[in-house]
Structure 1
Amino acid sequence: MVWTMDRDRPTPAPESALQPLHRAEVWQQPVATDLDPQLWATQYLGVLRDLAVQPSWISLAHIADPPGEVLLWMGQHLYRVNQRLNEILADLLDCFAPAQQPNVQILAAPLAPQAKVDGFCNDRTQPITLMVDPGRIVPADWPGLVAHELAHAIAQGRRDGASESDREGHSEPFRRAIAHLCLAQDLPLPAPQLEAAALRYWPPCRRNPQPEQFWLGLGNLDLPGQSAPGG
């Protein structure tokens, strides 16, 4: 399977401020004790589809059908994954002066194989929404996954003479943003002569050979409060 975090997409929805449930901090909290975890997870999937570049990119069909086991794990544990992704995002944002930091949020999402992406940046929401599938990449390399999508958000905000097509792709604005992030976070630096096609895969990340295991709660995660598989 080709690893790509490209953000080719159809005409986006108009930019709009997010409703309360569409804000990432809501989904960084454990499910309320009086709420069914599967219902929480179902609501979460609805939020993801609202924020996605294409709603059909959000899917559990390739993981489990029926999805009850996945929904239960998501309802009980996914907030910890979102907490970890938000910590990574905060570290990456610290590489920039406050005035240069984009207003951005991040959410974990089960992305359908047909989407052919491991993550994307939707700059038509406010704050900008980054969405990544942490099941596809080993946890140690999540910073690289998040850095790639954050670089898109930063490139989108740069209006210093770059065309819209340049800001949306993997050309010079993206190159500058990802190089800055990689240097600050001790990630592999892209070579100056690296072509835009190769930047689609930068920084290099190790793939999880069984991504569906992550969403079933069988992955080898090291998150605060995360029980061992079967625990």
Structure 2
Amino acid sequence: MIDCHSTDAYTRGVEYLRVAQSFVLDPAMVDVMENLRDRMTICTWIGKNIDVVNESLRNCLEACHECFYPEVRRAMRIFAVPLAQSFGLDGLCNISTIPITILIDAGRVAPQNWLSIVAHEYAHAHLGTPGHHQDFAAVLFHLCLGLGLETPGAQMDATILRSWPPYPSILDPLAFWRGETLHHGD
């Protein structure tokens, strides 16, 4: 859990984003402060709602954990964060943090598809390696089967695995972070 002590929603949102920046390889990957038009709205919304969003993502993470025996589960944490659109990522897994950190841009993926993106990033975390190779495909297949998601084919290449399981991306991801769409995982 990211611990933000402020009672003011805007300040709490700013603190949350600053801490989240420490979990990515490049702090510019979490860049709301440059968005002059929406910065106040986004930070305030995060300050008020991020705990509910993160709880939904933790439930997805726990569902992934349940697909494996406890002794092979890696320590992981998960947070929702608006990722800079210039990076073109829906989520990422930082395997160099302890515990491993999964970051999901909950605005880029509809709540009903959060489990799909979490499963994808969980496969990276479970292996402790980047890339979309055959070991990744095997773990992702196992997760998809256990979670009731569409399973990847046996001979999928890295190009297809990069965006598996399939789900549509949201055209305006910042609408979520501005509070214009649902913010609970349904």
| TM-score bin, normalised by smaller chain | over 0.9
Q: Which runs of 5+ in 1 are unaligned?
A: 1-23, 157-166, 225-231
Query: Offset at 1:175?
Result: 0.7
State the AA in 1 paired with 2:144: C
TM-aligned CA distance change 1:135 to 1:64, over 3 Å: farther
- In the other structure, the counterpart of 2:49 is 77
2:169 counterpart (207, 212, 221): 207
**1:189 equivalent among 143, 151, 162:** 151
1:38 aligns with 2:10: yes
Residues paired across the two proteins, number: 186
Alignment check: 8 A CA contact 2:111 2:185 kept: no
* 4+ long deviations beyond 2 Å: 61-66, 220-224
Deviation at 1:211, TM superposition (A): 1.3
Q: Deviations over 1:40-95 (max 9, x none)?
A: 11111111111112110001257653511111111111110001000110011110
Q: Gaps (5+ residues) in structure 2?
A: none
1:125 CA displacement: 0.9
On the 8 A contact 1:63/1:215 being kept in 2, the answer is: no
1:169 and 2:131 equivalent? yes
- The DSSP-based 3-state class of the residue aligned with 1:105 is strand
Give the match's secondary structure for 1:121: strand
**8 Å Cα contact 2:95/2:125 also seen in 1:** yes
Within-5 A mapping of 1:91-110? 91-110=63-82
Q: Is the partner of 2:180 in helix, strand or coil?
A: coil
Q: TM-score, normalised by structure 1?
A: 0.76
Give the fraction of aligned pairs with identical amino acids, expressed as a percent: 32
The match for 1:218 among 177, 180, 183 is 180
In the alignment, structure 1 residue 68 sits paired with structure 2 residue 40: yes
Q: Distance in 1 between matches of 2:36 and 2:105?
A: 16
Q: In structure 2, what is the Cα distance between the partners aligned to 1:221 and 1:194?
A: 33
Report which of the two structures shows the higher radius of gyration computed on alpha carbons. Answer: 1
- 1:62–1:112 Cα contact (<8 Å) kept: no
- 8 A contact 2:45–2:179 mirrored in 1: yes
